[in-house]
């Protein structure tokens, strides 16, 4: 953990309005919350505050409304889910930087929570606008950042506000995340195995570089494997290959030697649509007109065995197009291997939005040591060891 990070336990809370930046960037459909994991992840901090006599005032973004109100991204559907889940009354005010919102924060009673409308309805949020940050600061007597998933962004509600509101401390969720991720950056017990998949290499180059020196094995799957295989000279047909990252992939393979493993077989199909015929091929024989959508059974076994015997395991990025059951087998096999490693005493961490969703869907979220609530943030922290949103809390 970042040593100078101010923590919640050190703050004077009784009778205070605690302005809490949470990450309620939840999936919505037809105005309903589809997955409340991120809402639930805020309960420990909110309970902690309420039990010590503080009144939580919550700021969050949801989606990318682009700086103006857009009802499709309203946080209103969160009110009932939160109230029911945490068992406290939840009030709502909009816009988040208004006099009405400040008024509502001052009128809060013990045990009540105030949720404010989407911070990204305001044009200054993502610009980290100073005036907006100053208005946010009026909503509380102290600032608590518990939006781990947003700590890699310097926005008005994550970084700017800390200039005007003191103390600015980390919430319990951030504390827990840093404990788990910090263990991977520290001195992880060997064998330290990393699995990387998902869609794009370019998003994850720094992460890969960082693991190259620390991990014993790096298993590559998903569309990321396509780019590596293509860099090795294979013709991947219609597979998703990131052309601009091919040279980087080739250079990484050169440097990594046997440390990086690529799939030895692939599941290919004409496309991800339901009903399309799927078959297993070796990477040098991907038929034209087909695309690789999952790792094959041999790769599943090979990766599964390596993961099962890891002492430390980190995984980001699904092994295939897991949204379709037909191409989720590689991802499910890896999740099962991670669970097996965990019960054998290994420390296992899953990071990344889609990876976390895949592990949850496999019913194995509680069978691993830690599922990070931050996608980009957990990857950036692992690669860099720091995050703008955390730096803003330090020494404040
Ligand atoms: P995370 O959110 O865990 O960091 P990413 O966002 O990088 O993961 O990647 C997840 C996406 O990658 C999923 O939508 C998945 O369908 C896609 N994907 C994985 N493998 C393939 C593949 N072989 N072809 C196309 N898409 C893939
Ligand atoms: Mg993703």
Ligand 1 binding pocket mutation candidate from 196, 198, 316, 382 (most atoms within 8 A of CB): 198
Using DSSP, state whether 192 is helix, strand or coil: strand
More confident residue, 376 or 108: 108
Looking at residue 396, its pLDDT comes to: 44
Looking at residue 63, its pLDDT comes to: 95
Q: Is residue 180 part of a domain?
A: no
- Maximum distance among all Cα pairs of the chain, rounded to whole angstroms: 68
* Distance of CA 191 from the midpoint of ligand 1 (Å): 26
Q: Is residue 259 part of a domain?
A: yes
* Tally of domains in the chain: 2
Q: Is residue 181 part of a domain?
A: no
**End-to-end Cα separation, the chain, in angstroms:** 17
Mean pLDDT over each residue of the chain, to the nearest integer: 94
Q: Which ligand is nearest to the CA of 272?
A: 1
- Whether a cis peptide bond, with omega within 30° of 0, leads into 229 is no
Q: Is residue 167 located within the same domain as residue 299?
A: no
Average pLDDT over residues 99-105: 98
* Distance of CA 318 from the midpoint of ligand 1 (Å): 5
Lookup result for tokens 């922290």: 381
pLDDT > 90 fraction of the chain, expressed in percent and rounded: 85
Q: Is residue 391 part of a domain?
A: no
Q: Is residue 27 located within the same domain as residue 86?
A: yes
Q: Is residue 194 located within the same domain as residue 322?
A: yes
pLDDT > 70 fraction of the chain, expressed in percent and rounded: 98
Which of the residues 317, 375, 376, 389 is marked catalytic? 376
Assigned token pair, 298: 């041999």
User: How confident is residue 395, by pLDDT bands cut at 50, 70 and 90?
Assistant: low
Q: Is residue 104 located within the same domain as residue 234?
A: no
**Full DSSP string of 337-394:** HHHHHHHTT-EEEEESHHHHHHHHHTT-GGGSSEE-S-SHHHHHHHHHS--HHHHTTT
Q: Is residue 213 located within the same domain as residue 241?
A: yes
Alpha helices in the chain (DSSP H): 37-40, 43-51, 76-86, 99-107, 130-137, 172-185, 205-214, 222-231, 246-256, 297-308, 329-343, 353-361, 376-384, 388-391
Residue located nearest, by CA, to atom 16 of ligand 1 = 321
Q: Is residue 329 located within the same domain as residue 241?
A: yes
Which of the residues 200, 259, 324, 360 is marked catalytic? 200
* Distance of CA 354 from the midpoint of ligand 2 (Å): 5
**Pocket lining for ligand 1, CB < 6 angstroms:** 197-200, 222-223, 240, 292-293, 316-318, 320-323, 352-355, 375
Assigned token pair, 167: 């103390």
Residue 201: how many CB atoms within 10 A of its CB?
A: 28
* Distance of CA 203 from the midpoint of ligand 2 (Å): 10
- Whether a cis peptide bond, with omega within 30° of 0, leads into 191 is yes
Last residue of a domain, one of 122, 141, 173: 173
Q: Is residue 85 part of a domain?
A: yes
Residue of 261, 114, 264, 113 lying closest to 194 (CA atoms): 261
How far apart CA 189 and CA 151 sit, in angstroms, is 27
Last residue of a domain, one of 128, 145, 173: 173
Strand partners, 196: 220, 316
Q: Please say whether the beta carbons of 150 and 375 come within 8 A.
A: no
Q: Which ligand is nearest to the CA of 323?
A: 1
Q: Rounded to 5, what percent of the chain is helix, strand, coil?
A: 45, 15, 40
Q: Is residue 200 part of a domain?
A: yes
Atom of ligand 1 at shortest distance to CA of 200?
A: 7
Residue 365: how many CB atoms within 10 A of its CB?
A: 18
Active site residue 38: yes
Q: Is residue 31 located within the same domain as residue 112?
A: yes
Q: Please say whether the beta carbons of 370 and 180 come within 8 A.
A: yes
> Quick check: 312 pLDDT over 90?
yes
Average pLDDT over residues 176-193: 94
Q: What is the pLDDT of residues 346-375, one digit of tens each?
A: 999 999 889 998 999 999 999 999 999 887
Lookup result for tokens 């955390």: 390
Last residue of a domain, one of 141, 173, 205: 173
Q: Is residue 123 located within the same domain as residue 204?
A: no
How far apart CA 104 and CA 110 sit, in angstroms, is 13
> Quick check: 2 pLDDT over 60?
no
The CA–CA distances, whole Å, from 218 to 66, 91, 244 equal: 37, 47, 22
Q: Is residue 213 located within the same domain as residue 311?
A: yes
> Quick check: 339 pLDDT over 80?
yes
User: How confident is residue 10, by pLDDT bands cut at 50, 70 and 90?
Assistant: confident
CATH number at residue 270: 3.40.50.1260
Active site residue 63: no
Q: Is residue 26 located within the same domain as residue 107?
A: yes
Active site residue 353: yes
Q: What is the pLDDT of residues 108-163, one digit of tens each?
A: 999 999 999 999 999 999 999 999 999 999 999 999 999 999 999 999 999 999 99
Q: Which ligand is nearest to the CA of 358?
A: 1
Which of the residues 353, 374, 375, 389 is marked catalytic? 353
Residue located nearest, by CA, to atom 4 of ligand 1 = 352
User: How confident is residue 4, by pLDDT bands cut at 50, 70 and 90?
Assistant: low
Q: Is residue 394 part of a domain?
A: no
* Distance of CA 351 from the midpoint of ligand 2 (Å): 10
Looking at residue 1, its pLDDT comes to: 46
Enclosing domain of residue 144 = 8-173
Q: Is residue 251 located within the same domain as residue 122?
A: no
Average pLDDT over residues 221-236: 96
Q: What is the pLDDT of residues 34-68, one digit of tens each?
A: 989 899 999 999 999 999 999 999 999 999 999 99
> The pTM is what?
0.88
List all residues 6 or more positions away from 254 whose beta carbon is below 8 Å from its beta carbon.
none
Q: What is the pLDDT of residues 238-254, one digit of tens each?
A: 999 999 999 999 999 99
Residue located nearest, by CA, to atom 8 of ligand 1 = 317
User: How confident is residue 283, by pLDDT bands cut at 50, 70 and 90?
Assistant: very high
Q: Which ligand is nearest to the CA of 379?
A: 1
Ligand 1 binding pocket mutation candidate from 319, 354, 375, 376 (most atoms within 8 A of CB): 354
DSSP class of residue 274 equals T
* Distance of CA 224 from the midpoint of ligand 1 (Å): 8
Q: Is residue 392 part of a domain?
A: no
Q: Is the dihedral of CA 352, 353, 358, 359 positive or negative?
A: positive
Q: Is residue 284 located within the same domain as residue 367?
A: yes
Angle between helices 297-308 and 329-343 (to 10 degrees): 20
Looking at residue 11, its pLDDT comes to: 81
Assigned token pair, 137: 């600061």
* Distance of CA 228 from the midpoint of ligand 1 (Å): 15
b/e sequence 99-120, b meaning 16+ C-beta within 10 Å: eebbebbeebeeebbbbbbbbb
Ligand 1 binding pocket mutation candidate from 38, 194, 199, 316 (most atoms within 8 A of CB): 199
How far apart CA 160 and CA 145 sit, in angstroms, is 12
């Amino acid at each position: 953990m970042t040593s100078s990070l101010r923590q919640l336990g050190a703050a004077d809370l009784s009778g205070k309005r605690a302005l809490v930046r949470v990450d309620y960037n939840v999936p919505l459909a037809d105005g309903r919350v589809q997955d409340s994991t991120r809402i639930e992840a805020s309960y420990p901090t909110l309970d902690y505050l309420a039990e010590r006599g503080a009144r939580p005032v919550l700021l969050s973004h949801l989606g990318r409304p682009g700086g103006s109100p857009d009802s499709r991204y309203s946080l209103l559907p969160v009110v009932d889910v939160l109230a029911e889940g945490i068992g406290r009354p939840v009030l709502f005010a909009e816009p988040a930087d208004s006099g009405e919102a400040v008024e509502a924060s001052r009128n809060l009673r013990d045990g009540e929570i105030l949720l404010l409308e989407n911070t990204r309805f305001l044009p200054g949020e993502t610009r980290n606008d100073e005036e907006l940050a100053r208005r946010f600061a009026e909503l509380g007597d102290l600032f608590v950042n518990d939006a781990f998933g947003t700590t890699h962004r310097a926005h008005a509600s994550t970084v700017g506000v800390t200039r005007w509101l003191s103390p600015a401390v980390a919430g319990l969720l951030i504390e827990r995340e840093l404990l788990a991720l910090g263990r991977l950056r520290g001195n992880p017990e060997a064998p330290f195995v990393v699995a990387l998949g998902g869609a794009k290499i370019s998003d994850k180059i720094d992460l890969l570089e960082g693991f190259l020196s620390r991990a014993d094995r790096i298993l590559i799957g998903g569309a990321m494997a396509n780019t590596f295989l293509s860099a090795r000279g294979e013709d991947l047909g219609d597979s998703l290959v990131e052309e601009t990252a091919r040279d980087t992939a080739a250079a990484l393979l050169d440097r990594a030697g046997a440390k990086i493993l690529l799939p030895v077989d692939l599941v290919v199909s004409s496309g991800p649509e339901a009903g399309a015929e799927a078959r297993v091929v070796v990477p040098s024989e991907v038929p034209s007109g087909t695309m690789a959508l999952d790792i094959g059974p041999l790769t599943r076994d090979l990766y599964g065995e390596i993961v099962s015997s890891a002492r430390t395991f980190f995984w980001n990025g699904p092994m295939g197009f897991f949204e379709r059951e037909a191409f989720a087998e590689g991802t499910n096999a890896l999740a099962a291997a991670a669970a097996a490693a965990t019960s054998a005493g290994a420390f296992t961490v899953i990071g990344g939005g889609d990876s976390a969703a895949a592990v949850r869907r496999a019913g194995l979220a509680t069978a691993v040591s830690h599922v990070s609530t931050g996608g980009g943030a957990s990857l950036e922290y692992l690669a860099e060891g720091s995050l703008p949103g955390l730096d803003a809390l330090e020494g404040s």
